[in-house]
Amino acid sequence: MTVYKEAAERLANSFGAEAARYDRTRPAYPGELIAKIVAATPGPRVAEVGCGTGVLSRQLQAAGLDVLGVEHDERMAGFARGTGVTVEAAKFETWDPAGREFDAVVAGQSWHWVDAEAGLAQAARVLRPGGVFVALWHVFGTPEPISEAFAAAYDKVAPQMPHRVGHSYDEAFKAYQERCVRTAGEFAGTGEFSGAEQ
C-alpha cells in the first residue's frame, strides 16, 4: 500500500470516532437535488455507498425511497441505524448484495473512497437494467486569508495529508467538477453505463 493510500485509509476511518459530531455538522443536500434523484430513479430501491451517519439516506427515505446503506465503518453504521436507516457494514467493493438488485446506487460524499475498478464492477452488478448511479459532492471553500492559513498549517503539521485543506471556493469547484467528469468517464469506460449528466 502506498503512503498516499495508507493516509487516505486512516482519514477514511477517522470519521467514526466522532460520528455524532459528523452528523450534526455535515450539511444536508438541497431539496431540489433530492427531487432530481427521485425523478431519475426508475424505482424505489436505493443502495447508498458509504452512507456514513445516514445524512443522505434519511433525505431519500423522507422522499419515499427504500434505502439500504452500505458503510465500512461500524461506528458510523451504528449511528445511522439509530436514526432509522437500514445499514449493512462492509466496504461497497467487497459487500455481498446477496443477489439483490437496486434501482439506484447513490454515493454522497463517498465515491472518492471507493476503489474505482472494483467499485465500478460492483455498481454494475447491483443495478437493475435501466438503473442509475448518482455521485454527489458538496463544494465548499474558505475566504482567501483563511484558505492560506489553513494550507500553511496543514503543510506544517500534516504534509502527508492526501487532500488539500483550505482551498478557495473557485479552486474547490474546479477540483470537484474535474472529479465529476473523471468519474463519469470511468463509468462510461466500462461499457455498462451511458448518459452521464452533471
Residue 24 has what DSSP assignment?
Answer: H
The whole-angstrom separation of Cα 88 and Cα 36 is 26
How confident is the model over 90-126, as pLDDT tens digits? 999 999 999 999 999 999 999 988 998 999 999 999 9
pLDDT of residue 15: 67
Could you tell me the CA-to-CA distances from 94 to 100, 126, 186 in Å, in that order?
Answer: 14, 12, 19
Furthest-apart CA atoms within the chain: distance in Å: 52
Q: Structural domains in the chain?
A: 3-138 (3.40.50.150), 141-198 (no CATH)
pLDDT value of residue 166: 61
The answer to whether the CB of 55 falls within 8 A of the CB of 34 is no
Inform me whether the pLDDT recorded for 164 exceeds 70: no
- Among 81-95, 104-118, 154-168, whose mean pLDDT is lowest? 154-168
Backbone angles phi, psi at 162, to 5 degrees: -75, -15
Strands across the sheet containing 86-89: 86-89, 66-71, 45-49, 102-108, 127-136
pTM above 0.95, yes or no: no
What 3-state class would DSSP assign to 143?
coil
16-65 pLDDT, tens digit each: 667 888 889 888 999 999 999 999 999 999 999 999 999 999 999 999 99
Q: Which are the contacts of 193, defined by CB distance < 8 A and separation ≥ 6?
A: 124, 133, 187
Contacts of 20-26 with C-beta under 8 Å, sequence gap 24+, read 20/53, 20/79, 22/52, 22/53, 22/76, 23/52, 23/53, 23/54, 23/55, 23/79, 23/83, 26/52, 26/53, 26/55, 26/109
CB 150 within 8 A of CB 165: yes
Tell me which residue has cell 476511518: 13
Contact 76, 135 (CB under 8 A): no
pLDDT at 158 over 90: no
Q: Which of 55, 49, 56, 41 is nearest to 71 (CA)?
A: 49
- Tell me the angle at which helices 116-126 and 169-189 cross, rounded to the nearest 10 degrees: 60
